[in-house]
């Protein structure tokens, strides 16, 4: 089992807390889930409209929004930030206070609550039974036993403070979209670091800042090795890039979030060497960094990244302990994609390929590698927006073909997708426990 950061192992929640929040009201009678989701996402620094979310969630006047439609959409926004939403029971005052105080007091995020609208005290006298509704919690006071919520229903909503006992009694079954911080949010395949002929994983623990090496093909926690003692929670977009140092060992690159510099960490046996700065600034304006193999034809591995501001896609040719002048290979729209992953040749043309997932609908696409470019995309499959930390690794399944691994956001289970000549096979559970 991979390391799991239990809530009891995190810093204790303060006795009370309240987030800064700009409240929103729903534009329609049936937009409560998209509106509450928009407010919750704002506490992550994500700005998205309720209308955009309603479209992505399939919200309708007849049926509103189903939870299983909403969950993958919101996770598509927060997974890259190292968090997940998941359904949780909050049917007692103690479980309600525990969940809200952790999310608000420790993570500084606002959970979404699925409630029965007519049971809320400020809706006393409302007709109807089991009218599903969504609100958010953004404050609490443990001593007073109260929760502060924002209800997006304009007629009676807004900010309200309610006893945790009362709020718990108003909840739908498993109606709380709690927030979880991934313990090992950043996974990267690093080739063979242990010398046993199989590719290994590295994972950054956001809570401690430590970096761990998980030997393949099982990636068992019992075998993991500490290769970075601290500071890795200040790095982002970890990706294996192949050998840039010329020593025959695969290397790691990562962005320093504080100043946007890019760093190369030379691979070594069961460790990493002294890092080398290979990008002086601006890399915090890039997203979805991934090693792609050799697209420039010079025998050296290259790097791909998307520009956050305009959605362009760029190829950075690999050099010796450096990257060359970047080449634009995508003119727009790449800020609507995530989970970019270099996957080797799955199109059969002898060149490494790129996969990516649409943020709005979770469809996975493959972009064939070409000469300093990627070709026209082909759809690989739907429903990938509930999977995070996609990583193309070595042969996990023992069939001689490299495989894809990913973590189910709401459960923390890692799955392997066996490599095939034109894509990937149905997933098989590999190991649980990859959520914090």
Beta strand ranges found along 248-395 (DSSP E): 251-256, 262-265, 267-268, 271-272, 276-279, 286-293, 302-307, 313-316, 327-330, 337-344, 353-358, 364-367, 369-370, 373-374, 378-381, 387-392
Q: Give the pLDDT score at 394.
A: 82
Looking up tokens 């979805």, which residue turns up?
A: 288
Q: What is the pLDDT along the chain (436 residues), one digit of tens a residue?
A: 233 333 333 446 899 999 999 999 999 999 999 999 999 999 999 999 999 999 999 999 999 998 888 988 998 888 767 787 888 888 899 999 998 998 999 889 999 999 999 999 999 888 888 899 999 999 999 999 999 999 999 999 999 999 999 999 999 987 888 887 654 456 889 889 998 888 899 988 776 788 999 998 888 888 999 999 999 888 988 999 999 999 999 999 999 988 999 999 999 999 999 999 999 999 989 989 999 999 999 999 999 999 999 999 999 999 999 999 999 999 999 988 988 999 989 888 999 999 999 887 889 999 999 999 999 999 998 888 778 788 998 888 888 888 999 987 667 788 999 988 888 999 999 988 776 5
- Angstrom distances, CA of residue 395 to CA of 198, 222, 392, 404: 7, 20, 10, 9
Residue 264 contacts residue 235 (beta carbons within 8 Å):
no
Residue 417 contacts residue 405 (beta carbons within 8 Å):
yes
- For the full predicted model, state whether its pTM sits above 0.75: no
The verdict on whether omega for the bond into residue 217 sits within 30 degrees of 0, i.e. cis, is yes
CATH class of 16-180: alpha beta
Q: Decide the pairing of beta strands 235-242 and 369-370.
A: unpaired
Beta strand ranges found along 26-170 (DSSP E): 83-88, 112-116, 132-141, 146-151, 158-163
* Backbone phi, psi, residue 295, to 5°: -100, -10
* Backbone phi, psi, residue 123, to 5°: -110, 20
| 4 closest CA partner among 292, 262, 221 | 221
Q: Give the pLDDT score at 89.
A: 81
184-432: CATH superfamily? Tachylectin 2 (2.115.10.10)
The DSSP string of 193-234 is SSSSSS--EEEEETTT--EEEE-TTT--GGG-EEEE-S-GGG
Q: Give the pLDDT score at 207.
A: 66
Torsion of the alpha carbons at 392, 214, 198 and 186, rounded to the nearest 10: 20
Looking up tokens 């927030």, which residue turns up?
A: 179
Q: Give the pLDDT score at 435.
A: 62
* Backbone phi, psi, residue 54, to 5°: -60, -40
Residue 435 contacts residue 7 (beta carbons within 8 Å):
no
Q: Where are the domains of the chain?
A: 16-180, 184-432
The Cα–Cα gap between 358 and 339 comes to 9
The Cα–Cα gap between 387 and 406 comes to 6
Enter the tokens of residue 13: 């929640």
Enter the tokens of residue 293: 């193999």
Residue 301 contacts residue 242 (beta carbons within 8 Å):
yes
């Amino acid at each position: 089992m991979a390391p799991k950061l239990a809530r009891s192992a995190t810093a204790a929640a303060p006795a009370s807390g309240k987030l800064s929040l700009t409240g929103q009201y729903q534009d329609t009678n049936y937009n409560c889930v998209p509106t509450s989701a928009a407010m919750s996402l704002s506490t992550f620094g994500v700005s998205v409209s309720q209308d955009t979310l309603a479209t992505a969630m399939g919200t309708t006047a007849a049926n509103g929004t189903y939870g299983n439609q909403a969950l993958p959409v919101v996770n598509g926004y927060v997974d890259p930030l190292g968090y997940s939403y998941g359904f949780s029971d909050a049917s007692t005052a103690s479980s309600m206070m525990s969940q809200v105080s952790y999310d608000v007091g420790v993570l500084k995020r606002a959970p979404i609550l699925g409630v029965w609208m007519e049971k809320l005290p400020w809706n006393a006298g409302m007709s109807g039974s089991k009218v599903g509704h969504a609100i958010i919690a953004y404050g609490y006071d443990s001593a007073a036993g109260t929760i502060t919520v924002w209800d997006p229903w304009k007629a009676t909503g807004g900010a309200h403070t309610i006893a945790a006992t009362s709020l718990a009694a108003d909840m739908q079954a498993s109606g709380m979209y709690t927030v979880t911080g991934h313990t090992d949010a950043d996974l990267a395949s690093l080739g063979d670091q242990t010398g046993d002929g199989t590719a290994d994983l590295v994972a950054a623990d956001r809570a401690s800042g430590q970096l761990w090496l998980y030997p393949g093909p099982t990636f068992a926690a019992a075998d993991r090795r500490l290769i970075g003692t601290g500071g890795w929670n200040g790095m982002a977009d970890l990706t294996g890039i192949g050998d840039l140092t010329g020593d025959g060992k695969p290397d790691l690159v990562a962005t320093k979030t504080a100043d946007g510099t890019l760093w190369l960490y030379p691979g070594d046996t069961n460790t990493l060497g002294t890092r080398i700065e290979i990008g002086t600034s601006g890399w915090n304006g890039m997203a979805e960094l991934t090693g792609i193999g050799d697209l420039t034809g010079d025998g050296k591995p290259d790097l791909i990244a998307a520009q956050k501001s305009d959605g362009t896609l760029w190829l950075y040719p690999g050099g010796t302990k450096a990257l060359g002048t970047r080449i634009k290979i995508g003119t727009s729209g790449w800020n609507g994609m995530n989970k970019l992953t270099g996957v080797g040749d799955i199109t059969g043309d002898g060149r490494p390929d790129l996969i990516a997932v649409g943020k709005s609908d979770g469809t996975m696409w493959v972009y064939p590698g070409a000469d300093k470019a990627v070709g026209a995309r082909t759809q690989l499959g739907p429903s990938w927006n509930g999977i995070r930390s996609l990583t193309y690794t070595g042969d996990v399944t023992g069939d001689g073909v490299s495989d894809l691994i990913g973590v189910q956001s709401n459960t923390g289970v890692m799955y392997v997708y066996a490599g095939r000549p034109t894509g990937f096979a149905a997933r098989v559970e590999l190991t649980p426990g990859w959520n914090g």
